[in-house]
Structure 1
Amino acid sequence: MVLRFVAVVVCCLSAWVVQADEGMWMLGNLNKQTRRAMKELGLQMPADKLYSSRRPSLKDAVVSFGGFCSGVVVSEDGLVFTNHHCGFSSVQQHSSVEHDYLKDGFVARNRSEELPNPELYVRFLLRTENVTKRVLGAVKPEMTEPERSGAVDSVMFAISEEVARKDSTLVGIVDAYYGGNEFWLSVYRDYNDVRLVFAPPSSVGKFGWDTDNWVWPRHTGDFCVFRIYAGKNNRPADYSPENVPYRPEYVAPISLDGYKEGSFCMTLGYPGSTERYLSSFGIEEMMNNGNQAQIDVRGIKQAIWKREMDRRDSIRIKYASKYDESSNYWKNSIGVNRAIRKLHVLEKKRAMERELRRWIQQTPGEREKLLRLFPDLELDYKNTREANRALAYFAESFLNGPELIQLALSILNFDFEGERKTVEANLKAIVEKYANLDLEIDKEVFTAMVKEYRSKVDSTYLPEFYGTIATRYGGNDKAYADSLYAASELTTPRGLKRFLERDTTYNIYDDPAINLGIDLIGKMFEINMQTRESAMNIARNERLLNAAVRRMYSSRNFYPDANSTMRLSFGTVCGYTPFDGAEYDYYTTTKGILEKVKTHAGDVDFEVQPELLSLFSNRDFGRYAGEKGEMNVCFISNNDITGGNSGSAMFNARGELLGLAFDGNWEAMSSDILYEPKMQRCIGVDVRYILFMIEKYGKAGDLIRELKIVSGK
């Protein structure tokens, strides 16, 4: 126990020694200080083996998966490991009551059985380049904020276009860093033929469901396996039976040696967004408007969905993916607001801002430029508070609420003049939305959303249809919803079909759902216009604040906020103390699965098929067992991650795969705003558990033989 306590203390103090755990670092811009910190923690690879634009390196095995997750290439034939929840919508699309891959899992016994997913792509990073001078060269001191934004956007677009003109298989994207004070070009190559190869049953991939989501200790086998296919010369190609498995530049080796407390661990992936430099006023805005709207509105919507999903398998399959996505961010918002209060994040931010105010006052050059920075930020956030609250509840209640409204808005905004491929993909997305829609459920959601929005905003923010409900329907929301759903042609694909075929007997603008959509668009535009000037002022002053912080603490090693570009985080495998009197170990085993099944008997979140329970009880773990003969399931490190990191590769000091990141922990949910070194942990699924499930449960030995497995045992 004493040794374990010492290890935990060493782990937690590492942030103060080399600041090793905090930071999402740009691989193409690792400075000497960061490289030194990695080596001091135990990294055994040179920097050019992590990232190189000229020769294969570890970054070439890491992909952006679908633009919303991460993944890692693990075989010479293009196998990709990512999270189960990242592949969940693909598994759902291929599922039916007869072939319930969500419940039973999926295994392709040969290449011909691998299932295509036209909406999916994987993105490889080829190189990055600092283009700050070129972008900001277009900015003039006399420009207003809208003029500055327009000039910056024009140059960013031009740089991106140059990449595609030189090579049509490449994608160039210029992203803003440090609040718009720096700009970097990332050059990618996308592969669009991505096929499902293996998915565990949801009792493994989603074990614990909402109950365990964002919580440690965790026992979720959150993994899925896909394969990338390519056309001639290993180049990107749309799906075709003629395509062949992609031959990667670099394949991540897989380690069976596991980890110990204090082992070096690094995570490579595509984190979505963080707001570490955001002002305290911005944090309050996030808490009270955006997060609270998600908490209130999604809780109502999800309760309706879940009730019907539990009643019928057909509805469970239809609604599984959208429920999963919605509930993930719903619980995240709950956790973020809770952690902000519990960890006193606002107080810490305000203390830093007081230091900054003093520095500005005491530094003549800064005082001249920034004297009004904080008063202006406070005033502009105050001026937009109510309108932004209305926009947050508007988005959740209507834009992300009833699917009839989403369909109407999709049709209203449809671009028939775009590229044929894009038009076809957008039409397919609309048709799939119909396939996963139950009208009675959606009508109940619509009625609940109308009521919830009315109760949360000032009457000046109500769209015109609320007046119709009051006058024509006597204030009866349900009666209005019944009439709307009965009269609209868009409740089935028939209305869309009539519109696409130019049916002269059908004027789509007479459809009540389309009229409602126009009403909503008009109101949203009106509210947005109320915030436009203040929003521009806020963007400018948050950018100035970001730059001022870096000048004041010029000796510190700063990293930019996450922005969906490839990032490296590093630290150590270690447990933590969530509250007084409790210690959490750094890994879990299948023993915990058996214990949770027994403890939560009758709870569908913890139901596991008998054959799986038998597999765990038999303890035939073979070469995948840990040191004590147990089957490790999950582990934690102090690597710095956020949304988008799901599916990220977790590597050891030699660049060998240890597992896949899939979650953060409940006690540090405010980490997107402020890193808490003693609390924040990255939860990963152990790669040995992944291989065990593929081989022992899936009987997919051919997949195991594709992998580059290493072990020093």
Structure 2
Amino acid sequence: MKLRLKWMTFCLLLALASHADEGMWMLGNLNRQTRKAMKELGLEMPASRLYNPRKPSLKDAVVSFGGFCSGVVVSEDGLVLTNHHCGFSSVQQHSSVEHDYLKDGFVARNRSEELPNPELYVRFLLRTEDVTKRVLKHVTPRMTEAERSSVVDSMMLAIGAEVSAADSTLVGVVDAYYGGNEFWLSVYRDFNDVRLVFAPPSSIGKFGWDNDNWMWPRHTGDFCVFRIYADKNNRPADYSPDNVPYHPSYVAPISLDGYREGSFCMTLGYPGSTERYLSSYGIEEMTQTANQAQIDVRGIKQAIWKREMDRNDSIRIKYASKYDESSNYWKNSIGMNRAVRKLKVLEKKRAMEQELRRWIQQTPDERADLLQLFTDLELAYKNRREVNRAQSYFVEAFLNGPELVQQALTILNFDFEGERDVVVANLKKIVETYKNLDVDIDKEVFTAMLKKYRSQVDSAYLPEVYHTIATQYGGDDRAFVDSLYAHTQLATPRGLKRFLERDTTYQLLDDPAISLGIDLITKAFELNIQMQEPSVQIDRGERLLNAAIRRFYASRNFYPDANFSMRLSFGTVCGYDPFDGAHYDYYTTTRGVLEKVRAHEGDVDFEVQPEFLSLLSSGDFGRYADENGEMKVCFISNNDITGGNSGSAMFNARGELLGLAFDGNWEAMSSDILYEPDMQRCIGVDIRYVLFVIEKYGKASELIRELKIG
């Protein structure tokens, strides 16, 4: 057993070494070691051209797209490339049975046909600044964790607010790094007029759908094209017909040269969240609570949605975006739990923690402060285990479940006293959601959610509605749901309209959906109260653990966990061996599209328009073909990515665009917790395939001319 533990520890230490391909690096904080590693792998441009707060640089071509994806600016008139699944909601909002852009795709033949998206924005990073000393200036050792948190949060907000106070077109955001041990200010400029320009049919942009999601080999043309608009002074402006295309300070050049195995590749974007420094107790909790709740609950909800979507085109369009968002994280949770088991992530973490324990015990300064660190962490996680599990199922079953419940909670939390323009815009959002609601489907989902939550938690965690169902409806969930929808005014915009018009015959708080919302808020508050004390102890323990790890492995080149701020990852284009006796190549071609269509005949997830199949079969790929005449579709690199990186630019050694990152691979779904150098891959769509689809299939040659490809 000791020999096995030593071997596992040795393996973990190797994993903790600074792999050239591991890390989501802050552009404004690239140290000499990281720059050297990039040069050794093949980077041909100076670091000052990657990030420069005073001169145009590569970072100025990369945007946060909507706050949930990434994108890259590719023309002097503000064209932005991102993933199809990132633009999916916008495409869906503009679609109808008569104009089915999800099925048929969309092409704006001129600027006047480009479609506005009121809720969409893009964000440019201007600069970053280390503000750790300012944030922690008033923190003292005698403070409780709650007091420390209050001081830190106040300082973060104050520093961020200074930016907007000095320039109303700027946004200042202070983020915590390394578990709350460091703090950096990011200064952004947002543009709110973003219009849809081109979307391929979903048969291209989501080829393979759920079946292929997170999988390699991949043949998905996952891209969309938008355009940023500004006022006549090139400054941010809300949508107006008078706005003009934005002229960026830097445009990403496009390469048609492609790549080979071993080619340098870097990815620049806005990764969402990783937990590389999380304790083994935290990993165990994540897999058993939040992940398992998503797997169990979303699987039921999605099955109901999918059945009705396959039956009716109108329902398919209404629910496409909701289903896409839900299923993406559902499958992610399945893959993560599987990978944690298969790759023995918990065992590796525990081995590292055992070595850390020994170091703490043998180091007087560390022992004085951290002797009880792991004991306290273990106890805190144990103390919130059951309530945390209940909360996870509560969130999935109710807060992310029936849309009537979501509407009621949105209305209950609505700020009717805010600025008029903001109130009107937010009310429009509420009304818009009704367009994508089918009451009969929602009733079936609600009934299923009630049953699922009851079966998963202790009776102490049941909200009052279950007592109502038992006493007034004889335990019949469907009877309660039918009665609720029959008597509420909020299943349509009618109730909201009556409330806003001050209809004296309608009292909002008496509406049964609002009463249910209050019941659920009450239970959510109770769960949060029960979680509060152990959660504070966990936050403190994880922060101390994070700092201790960095002291223990002092020679390692550390990078902070992802937190939706701009990051650079780098490595090489390369294949991998998913299991014994198998090797996956580093690219796929259009031949694979044709093969999958034949192999999955009759499967709607692999159906492709006949005219596109004919185009692929013709082999007429023009200048987008590789040197051997093949049309590459997707490729993989060992760049370190996570959710939020979707749409990130993948650049070559000269900073030229090779493609767009859109997925990770199934074998390494635990990568948010522990990087696996032999397995983890970033899947991207080849920029040449993107251009081929735009020009040859979409016949949008004007867009190709705008890109000014050499």
Residue correspondence of structure 1 range 205-216 to structure 2 within 5 A: 205-216=205-216
| Structure 2 residue aligned with 1:161 | 161
| Structure 2 residue aligned with 1:545 | 545
| Structure 1 residue aligned with 2:132 | 132
| Structure 2 residue aligned with 1:201 | 201
**Identity over aligned pairs, percent:** 81
Shift of 1:418: 2.0
Q: Which runs of 5+ in 1 are unaligned?
A: 1-13
The whole-number CA distance in structure 2 between the counterparts of 1:425 and 1:178 is 37
| Structure 2 residue aligned with 1:571 | 571
Q: Which runs of 5+ in 2 are unaligned?
A: 1-13
| Structure 2 residue aligned with 1:454 | 454
Which residue identity lines up with residue 519 of structure 1 in the other structure? Answer: D
| Structure 1 residue aligned with 2:441 | 441
C-alpha change, 1:618 and 1:16, in structure 2 (3 Å) is farther
| Structure 2 residue aligned with 1:496 | 496
| Structure 2 residue aligned with 1:280 | 280
Q: Deviations over 1:513-540 (max 9, x none)?
A: 0000000000010111011011000000
The whole-number CA distance in structure 1 between the counterparts of 2:424 and 2:367 is 56
Q: Deviations over 1:108-155 (max 9, x none)?
A: 000000000000000000000000000011201111111101100111
The whole-number CA distance in structure 1 between the counterparts of 2:501 and 2:99 is 34
| Structure 2 residue aligned with 1:42 | 42
| Structure 2 residue aligned with 1:9 | none
The whole-number CA distance in structure 2 between the counterparts of 1:122 and 1:585 is 34
Task: Report if aligned partners of 2:18, 2:556 keep a CA contact under 8 Å in 1.
Answer: no
Q: Deviations over 1:361-409 (max 9, x none)?
A: 0000000000110000000100100000000000000000000000000
Task: Report if aligned partners of 2:650, 2:659 keep a CA contact under 8 Å in 1.
Answer: yes
Which residue identity lines up with residue 702 of structure 2 in the other structure? Answer: D
Task: Report if aligned partners of 1:252, 1:708 keep a CA contact under 8 Å in 2.
Answer: no
| Structure 2 residue aligned with 1:377 | 377
Which residue identity lines up with residue 373 of structure 2 in the other structure? Answer: L
| Structure 2 residue aligned with 1:69 | 69
| Structure 2 residue aligned with 1:531 | 531
Shift of 1:424: 2.4
The whole-number CA distance in structure 1 between the counterparts of 2:246 and 2:52 is 21
| Structure 2 residue aligned with 1:54 | 54
The whole-number CA distance in structure 2 between the counterparts of 1:407 and 1:554 is 50
Which residue identity lines up with residue 144 of structure 1 in the other structure? Answer: T
Task: Report if aligned partners of 2:17, 2:556 keep a CA contact under 8 Å in 1.
Answer: no
Shift of 1:425: 2.6
The whole-number CA distance in structure 2 between the counterparts of 1:615 and 1:15 is 45
| Structure 1 residue aligned with 2:611 | 611
Task: Report if aligned partners of 1:665, 1:680 keep a CA contact under 8 Å in 2.
Answer: yes
The whole-number CA distance in structure 1 between the counterparts of 2:206 and 2:138 is 49
Residue correspondence of structure 1 range 411-422 to structure 2 within 5 A: 411-422=411-422
| Structure 1 residue aligned with 2:651 | 651
Q: Give me the CA root mean square deviation.
A: 0.9
Q: Deviations over 1:261-310 (max 9, x none)?
A: 00000000000000000000000000000000000000000000000000
| Structure 2 residue aligned with 1:694 | 694
Give the aligned length: 697
| Structure 2 residue aligned with 1:315 | 315
Shift of 1:627: 2.0
Look up the SS of the partner of 2:233 in the other structure: helix
Task: Report if aligned partners of 2:401, 2:446 keep a CA contact under 8 Å in 1.
Answer: yes
Shift of 1:17: 8.9
1:358 equivalenced with 2:341 (yes/no): no
| Structure 2 residue aligned with 1:10 | none
Task: Report if aligned partners of 1:92, 1:102 keep a CA contact under 8 Å in 2.
Answer: yes
Look up the SS of the partner of 1:579 in the other structure: coil
Task: Report if aligned partners of 1:18, 1:37 keep a CA contact under 8 Å in 2.
Answer: no
Look up the SS of the partner of 1:232 in the other structure: coil
Shift of 1:233: 1.1
Q: Deviations over 1:30-58 (max 9, x none)?
A: 00000000000000010000000000000
The whole-number CA distance in structure 2 between the counterparts of 1:647 and 1:708 is 21
Q: Deviations over 1:601-653 (max 9, x none)?
A: 00010000100100000011000001221110000000000000000000000
The whole-number CA distance in structure 2 between the counterparts of 1:420 and 1:144 is 41
The whole-number CA distance in structure 2 between the counterparts of 1:237 and 1:483 is 46
Shift of 1:232: 2.7
| Structure 2 residue aligned with 1:8 | none
Which residue identity lines up with residue 223 of structure 2 in the other structure? Answer: F
1:96 equivalenced with 2:96 (yes/no): yes
The whole-number CA distance in structure 2 between the counterparts of 1:232 and 1:414 is 34
Shift of 1:421: 3.3
The whole-number CA distance in structure 2 between the counterparts of 1:15 and 1:208 is 33
| Structure 2 residue aligned with 1:3 | none
1:344 equivalenced with 2:351 (yes/no): no
Shift of 1:423: 1.8
Q: Normalising by structure 2, what TM-score?
A: 0.98
C-alpha change, 1:372 and 1:681, in structure 2 (3 Å) is same
Shift of 1:428: 1.8
The whole-number CA distance in structure 2 between the counterparts of 1:167 and 1:514 is 41
Which residue identity lines up with residue 625 of structure 1 in the other structure? Answer: A
Shift of 1:422: 2.6
| Structure 1 residue aligned with 2:637 | 637
| Structure 2 residue aligned with 1:230 | 230
Which residue identity lines up with residue 27 of structure 2 in the other structure? Answer: L
Shift of 1:426: 1.7
The answer to which of 562-571 and 526-535 deviates more is: 526-535
Shift of 1:501: 1.1
The whole-number CA distance in structure 2 between the counterparts of 1:512 and 1:297 is 24
C-alpha change, 1:467 and 1:45, in structure 2 (3 Å) is same
Task: Report if aligned partners of 1:15, 1:22 keep a CA contact under 8 Å in 2.
Answer: no
Q: Deviations over 1:172-216 (max 9, x none)?
A: 000000000000000000000000000000000000000000000
The whole-number CA distance in structure 2 between the counterparts of 1:352 and 1:362 is 16
